[in-house]
C-alpha cells in the first residue's frame, strides 16, 4: 500500500532543544510539503520541495529547517528558535508539485513543549 | 490576513438532511478550489475539487458550488451520514505554477442520528 508515513505520532520538546520530525513516502511523488495546524486555524505551509536537493520556504518557515536528500524523505527540524512549536504537523506529497494536483497527507505528528 | 475564511467553526445536522459548508476567499486570482476532510488524529483526505471555469462539480453525495463574483465556495452533502462527521477544510490555489494551497480554518461537522 502506497502512502505517507510520519513518525513519531507524539513528540515532546524541552526548552532549547531541536527535534526532528520524520516523513517518508512511497508514492514516487516528486513534491513534498510540511504544514502546521493550530487549533482554530487552517493549515499553514512551512516548507515545500518540488525536487530532490531543492526546497523553498513557505509562509511560516522561521524556526524550522528541512532537507531533501532523497526523493522519499523530507524531514523537518523544529529548532530552538521556534518559540511556539506546540502544534500538529502534517507532511504531504503530490506528484509533481503543480497547482492542480491533489495533496496526499500523512497522519501527523503532535509536538508539545515540556 | 486570512485569505480563505470558513466562518462557521462548527455545524450540526440531522442524519439524512443536507449539510452545507461555506468558504469565502479574497484573492480573485485563485482558480482552483478543493475540499478536504479530516478525522481526529489523521491527515486530511481529498474530497472534491473545482476549477474556476466551472460553477458546479458533483461526486456522488458531494457537490461543490463556486460563485466567482461573490468569491464564495460551498460544499453540499446530501444525504448526510454519521460517517460524514469530521472537520472539513476548504483550500484554494492557482492551477499554474507551484502547488501552494491556502487553507481555511476548518468547519467541524457533526451528523446526529
Q: What is the pLDDT of residues B3-46, one digit of tens each?
A: 899 999 999 999 999 999 999 999 999 999 999 999 988 899 99
The CA distance from B52 to A56, in Å, is 27
Q: How many Cβ atoms are within 10 Å of B62's Cβ, its own excluded?
A: 17
Whether A100 has a pLDDT exceeding 90, the answer reads no
A41 pLDDT tier (thresholds 50, 70, 90)? confident
Residue B9 near residue B107, CB atoms below 8 Å: yes
Query: What pLDDT does residue B74 have?
Result: 98
The owner of cell 468547519 is B107
B60-87: per-residue pLDDT in tens?
Answer: 999 999 999 999 999 999 999 999 999 9
What DSSP string describes chain B?
--SEE---SEEEEETTS-EEEEEEE--TT--EEEEEEE-TTS--EEEEEEETT-SEEEETTEEEEEETTTTEEEEEESS--GGG-EEEEEEEE-SSSB---EE---EEEEEE-
The owner of cell 532543544 is A17
Phi-psi category of A41—alpha, beta or left, where left has phi over 0 and alpha has psi -120 to 50?
A: beta
Q: Which residue of A has its CA nearest to B35?
A: A102
Strand locations in chain A, DSSP E?
4-7, 10-13, 19-25, 31-37, 43-51, 54-57, 64-66, 76-78, 87-94, 104-105, 109-113
Average pLDDT value for residue range A74-87? 94
- Quick check: A99 contacting B, CB < 8 Å? yes
By Cβ distance, the residue of B93, B95, B103 closest to A43 is B103
For residue B24, the distance in angstroms to the closest alpha carbon of chain A comes to 13
Query: What pLDDT does residue A12 have?
Result: 92
Q: Which residues pair with B32 in a beta bridge?
A: B51, B93
Query: What pLDDT does residue B1 have?
Result: 62
How many interface pairs between A and B have CB atoms less than 8 angstroms apart? Answer: 77
- Quick check: A19 contacting B, CB < 8 Å? no
Residue A72 near residue A24, CB atoms below 8 Å: yes
Query: What pLDDT does residue B98 have?
Result: 72
Asked if B44 and A106 come within 8 Å (Cβ–Cβ), the reply is: no
Amino acid at each position: 500500500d502506497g502512502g505517507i508515513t510520519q513518525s513519531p505520532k507524539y513528540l515532546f520538546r524541552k526548552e532549547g532543544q531541536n527535534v526532528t520530525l520524520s516523513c517518508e513516502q512511497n508514492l514516487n511523488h516528486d513534491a513534498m510539503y510540511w504544514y502546521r495546524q493550530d487549533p482554530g486555524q487552517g493549515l499553514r505551509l512551512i516548507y515545500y520541495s518540488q525536487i530532490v536537493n531543492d526546497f523553498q520556504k513557505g509562509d511560516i518557515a522561521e524556526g524550522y529547517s528541512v532537507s531533501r536528500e532523497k526523493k522519499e524523505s523530507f524531514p523537518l527540524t523544529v529548532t530552538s528558535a521556534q518559540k511556539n512549536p506546540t502544534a500538529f504537523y502534517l507532511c504531504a506529497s503530490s506528484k509533481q508539485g503543480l497547482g492542480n494536483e491533489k495533496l496526499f497527507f500523512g497522519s501527523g505528528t503532535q509536538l508539545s513543549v515540556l | 490576513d486570512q485569505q480563505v475564511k470558513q466562518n462557521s467553526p462548527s455545524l450540526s445536522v440531522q442524519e439524512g438532511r443536507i449539510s452545507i459548508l461555506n468558504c469565502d476567499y479574497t484573492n480573485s486570482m485563485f482558480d482552483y478550489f478543493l475540499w478536504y476532510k479530516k478525522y481526529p488524529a489523521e491527515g486530511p483526505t481529498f474530497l472534491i475539487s473545482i476549477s474556476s471555469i466551472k460553477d458546479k462539480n458533483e461526486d456522488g453525495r458531494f457537490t461543490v458550488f463556486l460563485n466567482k463574483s461573490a468569491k464564495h465556495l460551498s460544499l453540499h452533502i446530501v444525504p448526510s451520514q454519521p460517517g460524514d462527521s469530521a472537520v472539513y477544510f476548504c483550500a484554494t490555489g492557482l492551477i499554474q505554477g507551484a502547488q501552494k494551497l491556502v487553507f481555511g480554518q476548518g468547519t467541524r461537522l457533526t451528523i446526529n442520528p
